[in-house]
Amino acid sequence: MYSEKVMDHFMNPRNVGTIDNPDGVGEEGNPSCGDIMKMYLKVENDVILDAKFQTFGCGAAIASSSMATEMIKGKTLEEAWQLSNKAVAEALDGLPPIKMHCSVLAEETIHKAINDYLVKTGREPWGEPAACSTCGHDCDTCGE
Amino acid sequence: MDHAATTYAAPEVVAEMLPYFSEKFGNPSSVYNIGQENKTAVDAARAKVAAAINAEPNEIYFTAGGSESDNWALKGVAFANSRKGKHIITTAIEHHAILHAGEWLQSQGFEVTYLPVDKFGVVSVTDVEKAIRPDTILISVMYANNEVGTIQPIKEIGSIAKAHNIYFHTDAVQAVGHVPIDVKAEHIDMLSLSGHKFYGPKGVGALYIKKGVRIQNLIHGGAQESKHRAGTENVPGIVGLGVAIERAVQKMPVEAPRLARMRDRLTAELLKIPASHLNGHPTQRLPNNVNITFEYIEGEGILLLLNMFGICASTGSACNSASLEPSHVLTAMGVPHEISHGSVRLTVGERNTDEDVKYVLEKLPEIIHKLRSMSPLTPKELK
pLDDT of the residue at B318: 59
Report residue A141's pLDDT band, with 50, 70 and 90 as the boundaries. Answer: very low
Name the pTM for this structure: 0.92
The DSSP annotation for B257-302 comes to HHHHHHHHHHHHHHTTSSSEEE-S-SSSB-TTEEEEEETTS-HHHH
**A106 within a domain of the structure (yes/no):** yes
pLDDT value at A139 more than 50: no
**A135 within a domain of the structure (yes/no):** no
Can you tell me whether residue B140 is helix, strand or coil?
strand
Q: Give the closest residue to B363 by CA, choosing from B295, B298, B291, B313.
A: B313
Task: Spell out which residues of chain B touch residue A55, defining contact as CB-CB under 8 Å.
Answer: 374-376
pLDDT of the residue at A137: 41
Mean pLDDT of all residues belonging to chain A: 89
Q: Give the closest residue to A57 by CA, choosing from A81, A82, A27.
A: A27
| Active site (annotated) includes residue A102 | yes
Contact between B202 and B214 under an 8 Å Cβ cutoff? The reply is no
**A57 within a domain of the structure (yes/no):** yes
CATH class, B11-248 region:
alpha beta
Kindly report the CATH number assigned to the domain that includes residue A62.
3.90.1010.10
Contact between B88 and B136 under an 8 Å Cβ cutoff? The reply is yes
- Comparing alpha-carbon positions, the chain A residue that sits nearest to B374 is A54
Cα separation of the two ends of chain A: 27
pLDDT value at A140 more than 80: no
The strand pairing partners of B314, in sequence order, are: B345
**A71 within a domain of the structure (yes/no):** yes
Least confident of A103-112, A120-129, B171-180, B230-239: A120-129
pLDDT of the residue at A31: 82
Backbone angles phi, psi at A6, to 5 degrees: -60, -45
The pLDDT of A3-7, averaged and rounded, is 97
Yes or no, beta carbons of A58 and B317 under 8 Å apart: yes
Backbone angles phi, psi at B366, to 5 degrees: -60, -45
- Please state, in angstroms and rounded to a whole number, the distance separating the CA atoms of residues B160 and B166: 8
Assigned CATH for B253-382: 3.90.1150.10
Q: Please indicate if any CB of chain A lies within 8 Å of the CB of B337.
A: yes
The DSSP annotation for chain A comes to ---HHHHHHHHS-SSBS--SS-SEEEEEEEGGGTEEEEEEEEEETTEEEEEEEEEES-HHHHHHHHHHHHHHTT-BHHHHHT--HHHHHHHTT---GGGHHHHHHHHHHHHHHHHHHHHHTT---SSPPPP---SSS--GGGT-
pLDDT value at A133 more than 90: no
- Please state, in angstroms and rounded to a whole number, the distance separating the CA atoms of residues A68 and B379: 25
**A141 within a domain of the structure (yes/no):** no
pLDDT of the residue at B265: 98
**A29 within a domain of the structure (yes/no):** yes
Instruction: Read off the DSSP letter of residue B10.
Output: P
Q: Which residues of chain B have pLDDT under 50?
A: none
pLDDT value at A135 more than 70: no
Give the amino acid at B195: G
Can you tell me whether residue B178 is helix, strand or coil?
coil
| Active site (annotated) includes residue A135 | no
Distance from CA of B238 to the nearest CA of A (A): 33
Backbone angles phi, psi at B373, to 5 degrees: -70, -20
pLDDT of the residue at A142: 41
Contact between A118 and A127 under an 8 Å Cβ cutoff? The reply is no
pLDDT of the residue at A122: 95
Number of domains in chain A: 1
What residues does each domain of chain B span? 11-248, 253-382
Enumerate chain A positions whose Cβ falls within 8 A of a Cβ in B. 2, 7, 10-11, 13, 16, 27, 31-38, 54-62, 98-99, 135-137, 139
